[in-house]
Structures are given as C-alpha cells and as structure tokens.
Amino acid sequence: MASSSSSSSPGSRLAGTLTLRTGAASLIPGLPNDVAAVILCLLTFPDQSRLRATSRAWWLLLSAGTLLPLRRSLRLPRRHLLCLFPTDPSVASPILLDPAAPTAWWSLPPIPCSPQLYGLANFAAIAVGGHIYILGGSRFDARSYPLDHPSPSAAAYRLDLTLSRHRWERLPDMRVPRGSFACAPAPSGGVIVAGGGSRHPTFPSYGTRTSGAEWYDTAMRAWRTTAAMPRDRAGCVGFVAHGAGDGREDEFWVMGGYDGYTTVGGVVPSDVYCRDAVALGLCSGKWREIGDMWGEGERVRLGPVATISAEDGRVTEVFMLDGHDLFRYNFSSNGWSKEATLRRKIPPTQSCGLFAMNGELFVLTSAKAPVEVSNPWRQTKRRMALEFQVYNPVVKTWRVLTTHPPVDVPIDFRTAALCTVEL
C-alpha cells in the first residue's frame, strides 16, 4: 500500500489530511498513515476509547467525527456492540461488549439519579444509531408509603456513543409513566413506546396498566402521543415491521404481555397473558388487531423475542425462545414454527437472555465458573462467566462463546436489560 503522500484511496486522503492538520509525522512510526489509519479503525471499540489519549493525532482520528466517516469510506462493516444492564442502571454501570473481541468489555457511567430513588426495574433500554436510551421503569421512592410498592417512571435518558466523553443526557419525560412496556426505534430516528405500567419485581401481578402510546420527536425534543392500543397491555415486546400492513405499510407491532390478573384458589395472584398482537400503522396512525399466535394449551406466554433486521434497519425475521427451543414467527399465518433446539440446555433455575446481532441469534446465560490456579494448595476461585450460544439461521449452525464480564454476581436476565448498538 502506498504512503499517504502518494496514495489516492479514501482512507489515505483522510489520514493524510489528519496528519497535515495536526502536524504529526505519522500516526504509527514506521508505517504509512493510510496503513496506520486502517489498523486503528479495526481496533475494538473499548480499545479505541482507551487509546484516544495516546497522542493528539490518535485523539482526532479515533473521534467519532473522523473515525465513522473513515470506516464508511474504507467500506468496513458496521460495528455492532452489545450493551448489558446487569441491574439498576442508577447504581451499577451498564457495560459494552464488542463481539469482535469477546474479552473486551467497557463500562459506561451510571445514569444520574436522585438519592431518594432506588431499585429501578422493568425499564426499556434501546439503541437508535449511536444513541442508547433508558426509558421509564418501575421506581421505588424512599419518601413514599408503603416502601415496597413501586410507581411507574416517565424519566428518559440518552447517551451518545459517538462522543469522546460519555455522559447521560436527561430528556423530557414521557407523557405517561410506564414500566415493562413495548419499545422500538421509530423510522424517523426517534423512539416509539406503547403499553406498560408499574410492575413489582417480586409480586408482578400488582400494579397499573396502560394502553397509551407515544413517540419521541428528536427534532423537536418532545414526546408526541398517538392512538392508544385497543386495550391495556404490559410486559409486552415491540418492533417495527417493514411492509407488514395493508398496502405494505410499515407497522409498530406489540406482541404478548399481560392485560390483567386473576387468583389461584382465591389467594395466589396470577397474570392473564395475551396470546395475540396488535400493530400500529405508522402512516395511517390506526391500530389493527391480530389474532392469537398460538392455541390454548400450546404455551403459556410469549418468551424472549429477538428480531433480525435488513441493511436498512427494518425487521425481516422475528424469533422467540421457548424453553430450550427457538421458534420463528410467520407473518402470513400468524403462527410460530420450531427453528432449532439449543445446543446446551439451560437448567430451570437459570434465567437467559436473547438478542440478535450481525444476523445471528445469541442466547445468554451467566454463572460462576471455576478459575484455574497455578498453586494446587490454593483454594479454587470462581469467576463470573457469560456463555453465548450463537445460532446462524441462514446456515442453521450453532457455536458457543464464553466471556468474563466485569461483574461479581450472576446476572438475572429476568431483570437485566439488553440492547444492541450499531455504529
């Protein structure tokens, strides 16, 4: 590859411009700047964040304003990250994982929070472009009575990963407080939410429910209300389906959840789960009801759901984890068909998470794993481990990865939150 003074490639021109602007002789001594720029572009996201302080030239190259256009000009694939919220994000930091290097974890700052508030649960974590949003949730307030009953939160926070310094920005509150609700990126670049309420993590049947829906207008920095769902629904999942409606209209789908509760034996409360779905036409602004996705006795409720998107970000495939099996949703028949069985069964005492990235499905479980020690007289230590069972729906094959996140206790995916980021 030619040096930056003679090469005409896009990466060479950008790297050369950077060198002239900073006055530095080279990005990496002994290498042409175009070669050095490609090497730095291929580093994992955590490594790029750590290495910005190496020199002024590296700070400028690894800043979002230079790095992202350079990656696009070099036609490098988009960088996909996993953002994991192990617990309350106002207490514990969310962490990022670059799947290109499963050992590379990077901690983000916790969200700012009033000292009287604690125990945020059932919030929504979602990424739109390089922005990570934390929305709503069920919040406990030390000033309320009784202390063990949560109230829904309307708070909204956003963090811009393309900035060199990561800080949470407080956005305007949602119009309706809600936790455990459906949420998806809006085609306009904002976020659309529906349903939810307050939900106790130990006694989930208690709490409020809502049918309200709204979306965040990034240009106006305001929440806009849209038509409410046909009935109250909480504990549901949402996604935007491309061309699934009448006239090939894009729709915001809300699946599953619960719309009430009953009692077993007149004493023990039990949720009444929804077997159907509803969809909001993003042009018409009207909801349409979709029938039951499974029959009586087939399954109790909707399991964890993950969606695979096309290059334009629109959802093309929807998958669900039910026990040890993966199911694929068929839009035309409104039903689920078995896709595959997990390579390793998950014990009933363990929780698991499901997300999609780079066209593959990831099933996560966490546990304390023994760590080898060199001295046989020392007591064996146990370290937190995350196991990824990765399924490729195109070639229908599995692979297994293990990583050690910077947390001390096993992660409960019934309360933890996951989202994927695409830069």
Q: What is the DSSP string of 240-280?
A: EETT-SGGG--EEEEE--EEEEEEETTTEEEEEE---EEEE
pLDDT, position 2: 40
| Domains along the sequence of the chain with CATH | 10-73 (no CATH), 111-302 (2.120.10.80)
pLDDT digits (tens, 9 = 90+) for 233-268: 999 999 998 876 666 788 999 999 998 777 666 666
More confident residue, 352 or 199: 352
Provide the β-strand partners of residue 365: 387
In sequence order, what are the residues at sequence separation of 6 or more whose Cβ sits closer than 8 angstroms to the Cβ of residue 173? 154, 155, 156, 223
pLDDT, position 372: 54
pLDDT digits (tens, 9 = 90+) for 204-241: 556 678 999 999 999 999 999 999 999 999 999 999 98
pLDDT, position 420: 93
pLDDT, position 19: 44
More confident residue, 145 or 422: 422
What does pLDDT average to over the chain? Answer: 84
pLDDT, position 57: 86
The pair phi, psi for residue 252, each rounded to 5°, is -95, 110
The span from the CA of 238 to the CA of 418, in Å, is: 14
pLDDT, position 370: 60
Q: How many helices (H) and strands (E) does the chain have?
A: 5, 29
pLDDT digits (tens, 9 = 90+) for 18-49: 443 444 557 888 888 888 888 888 888 878 87
In sequence order, what are the residues at sequence separation of 6 or more whose Cβ sits closer than 8 angstroms to the Cβ of residue 385? 366, 367, 368, 369, 402, 403, 404
- Share of residues in the chain with pLDDT > 90 (%): 46
pLDDT, position 7: 42
pLDDT, position 400: 93
β 182-185/151-152 pair status: unpaired
The SS3 of residue 408 is coil
Provide the β-strand partners of residue 337: 328
pLDDT, position 90: 87
pLDDT digits (tens, 9 = 90+) for 120-156: 888 999 999 889 999 999 888 777 776 667 788 999 9
pLDDT, position 5: 40
What's the mean pLDDT in 278-287? 94
The SS3 of residue 95 is strand
The pTM is what?
Answer: 0.86
- pLDDT reading at 331 higher than 70: yes
Model confidence at 201, pLDDT cuts 50, 70, 90, reads low
pLDDT, position 8: 44
Lowest mean pLDDT among 109-113, 119-123, 372-376: 372-376
Between the ranges 94-98, 116-120, 327-331, where is the mean pLDDT highest? 327-331
pLDDT, position 422: 86
pLDDT digits (tens, 9 = 90+) for 352-367: 999 999 899 999 998 8
